[in-house]
Amino acid sequence: MIGRNDPLVRFREVQKTYDGETLVVRNLNLDIAPGEFLTLLGPSGSGKTTILMMLAGFEPVTHGTIHLGGEPINNLPPHKRGIGMVFQNYALFPHMTVGENLSFPLEVRGLGKADVQEKVERALEMVRLGGYGRRRPGQLSGGQQQRVALARALVFEPALVLMDEPLGALDKQLRDHMRYEIKRIHESLGVTVIYVTHDQGEALTLSDRVAVLNDGVIQQIDPPADLYEKPKNAFVAQFIGENNRLRGRVRDMNGTNCRVELDDGHGEMQALAVNVSGSGAPTTLSLRPERVVIDPAPGSLPNRFEARVEELTYLGDHIRTRVNVCGTDQFIVKIPNAQGHASLKEGATVTVGWEIDDCRALDT
């Protein structure tokens, strides 16, 4: 049993190698609270699915310990861990009806017929598929099949559900819809969910916290807003959302801020010193496109530069503007449509500016 403030899942010094040489997961230490929705986000090969498979029991741990509910589970077979699973390919039994697919995990746990029927009906109602119990998976759309897979993972009321790229096989519209369905179900049940994806939108929409992985190591773990607004290193800044990168060298430090001289003599700017070792150190400046202001009032912003408009793209809610500034012609500015700027033309010279705190000096 675990106490009120104890984690439901705990990884301690967990490592994984498939060939005995290359570590796919490196010294993972991670606590996941009861009821939390945690997403493992990262590029292919970052270790996120391997972490999920070790927790599920489908891959052995090379080193370290995984605890579930306060108990070590390294040597516990998958069927005894009591974990619900949802996969990208649904993994439904095609020869069974929807109701039989949902009944299966209950029957193997020895529940009586009346209890099975009640739980199946409740699970189908939860995913808004009441009345679909007699259909077969082949008679359902992709979105409906994924709802059935979700219901099957939840029907035996596990404390923990693992989801491995569950929306990857759906088209964009269905994917967006299912995001909100998963979020609704999680909030109503309070079950703990660990979710694997490479889709930033899913991670930011669904999660209480997101762990960004690269090369088998968690680069940053934070709530979605902090991850986006306050990246702690250059990898996270570049991987999460759209990001402008400028390279330079720290000229001097002033408390939490620093002055950075851009490479190749392209100017100097003030930035928030987030992850720099001190004066003289190379750094990558990170700046979100929506934080950049076109034609700010004189003296209103500490960082101001002249720029040339290279490209304008209308995207409905905003205008994506590519400008040439500070030595790069790939600098992006997002202008909310409500702000207008109808007179902005390709080839025009404009002023761009931003606050010190919006420009983060990070590692290289």
Q: What is the C-alpha separation between 339 and 358, in angstroms, rounded?
A: 20
More confident residue, 316 or 270: 270
Three-state secondary-structure class, residue 210:
strand
Indicate the pLDDT class of residue 252, thresholds 50, 70 and 90: very high
β-sheet bridge partners, residue 262: 248
**Mean pLDDT, all residues of the chain:** 93
pLDDT at 339: 66
Q: Which residues 6+ apart lie within 8 Å of 75 measured at CB? A: none
Q: What is the pLDDT of residues 122-175, one digit of tens each?
A: 999 988 999 999 999 999 988 899 889 999 999 998 999 999 998 887 888 888
Amino acid at 207: S
pLDDT at 342: 61
pLDDT at 362: 97
Q: Which residues 6+ apart lie within 8 Å of 69 measured at CB? A: 1, 2, 8, 159
pLDDT at 178: 85
Helix (H) or strand (E) holding 117: helix 113-126
| Rounded mean pLDDT, 214-239 | 96
DSSP secondary structure code for residue 182 in this structure? H
pLDDT at 22: 95
CB 347 within 8 A of CB 364: no
pLDDT at 159: 92
- At 28, list the tokens: 């993972």
Helix (H) or strand (E) holding 282: strand 282-287
Residue 348 has pLDDT above 90, yes or no: yes
pLDDT at 317: 87
Whole-model pTM? Answer: 0.90
Residue 1 has pLDDT above 80, yes or no: no
pLDDT at 341: 62
Residue 16 has pLDDT above 80, yes or no: yes
Kindly report the backbone phi and psi dihedral angles of residue 96, in degrees, each rounded to the nearest multiple of 5, phi listed first.
-105, 155
Q: What is the C-alpha separation between 58 and 11, in angstroms, rounded?
A: 16
Q: Which of 5-19, 67-81, 326-340 has the lowest mean pLDDT?
A: 326-340
Residue 90 has pLDDT above 80, yes or no: no
Q: What is the pLDDT of residues 273-305, one digit of tens each?
A: 999 999 999 999 999 999 999 999 988 999 999
- The DSSP bridge pattern shows strands 63-68 and 9-17 to be antiparallel
Q: What is the C-alpha separation between 303 and 188, in angstroms, rounded?
A: 46
CB 216 within 8 A of CB 23: yes
CB 274 within 8 A of CB 309: no
Residue 244 has pLDDT above 90, yes or no: yes
DSSP secondary structure code for residue 59 in this structure? S
CB 245 within 8 A of CB 233: no
